[in-house]
Amino acid sequence: MLPNFNRSWQPQSRPLHFSSVKVQGDRSLVAASPGKGVYHREEHGEWQRMSDGLPSESMVHRLQTTENRLYACTSKGLYLLQDNRWVNGDLEKACYQYKEEWGYAFAATDDGLLYRNGGEWKQSAYKRTVVYDFLFTPEYLYIGLEGGVGMYDRMTDQWAGFSLGVGVTSIAADRTRLIGATDSGELAISTGRGGFERIRFGDMFVFSVVSRLPHVYVCTDKGLFRVGRLGSRLTLFSLKPGLPVTDVDWLGSDLYMATLSKGIQTMRA
């Protein structure tokens, strides 16, 4: 029997609100609830709390998976799930993102971008600056900062910075442009002329942006959208209206959405 891809994974015991979601290969879900920790649910099961090992007062900023390992980026550090218990990854600074690229592990923290290769965490860039997110391309590293965007050119070993006057809390890219979500609810779009422009879509508040080539998806308080163009004009195409969507993840062509009011929603991407 095929699953119902218009269903809600809303907890039945109490109304949990979700800020981050990861779907596993067996269609089980792991989701973070603001101020309540992390929860797990089998495809046809009930939500179970999965916060053992996390500090009681920690806030989960983002869940991340790397080579089948699940990480929680929290206000109290970076944690790895081992045997259903969270273990600190030798990083106790507030952490916002974790990725493994170029043969290294990287972490976005409230004290800059850190890296390591099997040893201790070391400073990479932007010490004493909040780094929220980062994105790798073959030639560049883009970094979402508390005041704008940083860029590292791998070929020339040069850094560049773009001050926007707002924090860029998540970064995504399609084939032609870099797109960020700001802490004021706008999109920050690369202009192709060595800068960025901030765009607000009415009273919509943008929570985050997520890449899945060739598209960029935008999570907002008005629903889920996909970035596109009508002629020369950038626009947002509605995919799931009317829900405050905070994060998305995929399993094949199936899209899973974390929402602030309706649990985890699913649809065909």
Helix (H, G, I), strand (E, B) or coil at 179: strand
Give the integer Cα–Cα distance in Å for 161 and 172: 17
Return the pLDDT at 69: 96
Give the integer Cα–Cα distance in Å for 48 and 166: 37
Give the integer Cα–Cα distance in Å for 61 and 52: 17
Q: Which of 27, 26, 25 is nearest to 9 (CA)?
A: 27
**What tens-digit pLDDT sequence spans the chain (269 residues)?**
334 445 555 554 554 799 999 999 999 999 999 989 999 999 988 999 999 999 989 999 999 999 899 999 999 999 999 999 999 999 999 999 999 998 899 999 999 999 999 889 999 999 999 999 999 988 899 999 999 999 999 999 999 999 999 999 999 999 889 999 999 999 999 998 889 999 999 999 999 999 998 999 999 999 999 999 888 888 999 999 999 999 999 999 999 999 999 999 999 87
Rg, the chain, Cα only: 18
Q: Contact 215/174 with Cβ under 8 angstroms?
A: yes
- Tell me the domains of the chain and their CATH numbers: 20-268 (2.130.10.10)
Give the integer Cα–Cα distance in Å for 112 and 242: 36
Give the integer Cα–Cα distance in Å for 263 and 265: 6
Q: Which of 28, 102, 108, 20 is nearest to 62 (CA)?
A: 20
Pairing of strands 223-230, 215-220: antiparallel
Pairing of strands 20-23, 122-125: unpaired
Opening angle at CA 223, ends 16 and 264, nearest 5: 30
Return the pLDDT at 1: 34
Q: Contact 21/264 with Cβ under 8 angstroms?
A: yes
Return the pLDDT at 8: 54
